[in-house]
Amino acid sequence: MISTNQFKNGTHVEVDGAIYKILEFQHVKPGKGGAFVRTKLRKVDDGSVQDKTFRAGEKFRPVRTETRKMQYLYDSGDAIVLMDTSSYDQMEIPRDVAGDDIRWVTPNDNVDVLFVDERVAGIQVPSAVDMAVTQTDPGLKGDTASGGGYKPATLESGVTVQVPLFVNEGDRVRVDTRTREYVSRA
């Protein structure tokens, strides 16, 4: 059993029969009355975020989590197909479980797949990826009034991000996957 005083961000716990990931928590000790823990939890099944309050010392069943390296093979429409790099077994994951992060992955890239109690809970991509620019307008001399400007560019996975004017089609760029911002040329 895991107690509220052992909570950590990213830990998975079972509350009322549902599995949640702890996004943030705060121990509160008011001057009057008992201490409690205020939490923000994400439900693994549907991704909804909920605020819950628990009494200090309340116990929950810890949930076993595991990440496995898998290779992204292809998109089959409503699911994505991955291959376990150790056993070469293929598995389909529904697109809604994979989430928006799959946009940052191209075929044959490796991703970390999160399993919660032996069920797929989502994928984790690196915080920054290098991708080729497949389409962007050429930057024209004089476009910048203050020395720097940005233009939209479509990357090889289909994601559109803002890049500086000097980036051209065919260039490889590094993009932060959390903020969707250009970092540098790759």
The string of DSSP codes covering 49-82 is EEEEEEETT-EEEE--EEEEEEEEEEE-SSEEEE
Instruction: Report residue 141's pLDDT band, with 50, 70 and 90 as the boundaries.
Output: low
For residue 184, name the pLDDT band (cuts at 50, 70, 90).
confident
Q: Which fold has domain 2-62?
A: SH3 type barrels. (2.30.30)
At 49 the pLDDT is: 86
pLDDT tens for each residue of 78-110:
888 899 888 888 888 888 777 777 888 888 888
pTM given for the model: 0.65
CATH (one of 2.40.50.140, 3.60.110.10, 3.40.50.2300, 2.60.120.620) for 128-185: 2.40.50.140
pLDDT of 140 strictly over 70: no
Q: What's the rounded Cα separation, in Å, for the pair 16 and 63?
A: 13
**Residue range 65-124, CATH number:** 2.40.50.140
21-64 confidence digits (pLDDT tens): 888 899 988 888 888 999 998 887 777 888 999 988 888 887 88
Q: What is the DSSP string of 13-36?
A: EEETTEEEEEEEEEEE--SSS--E
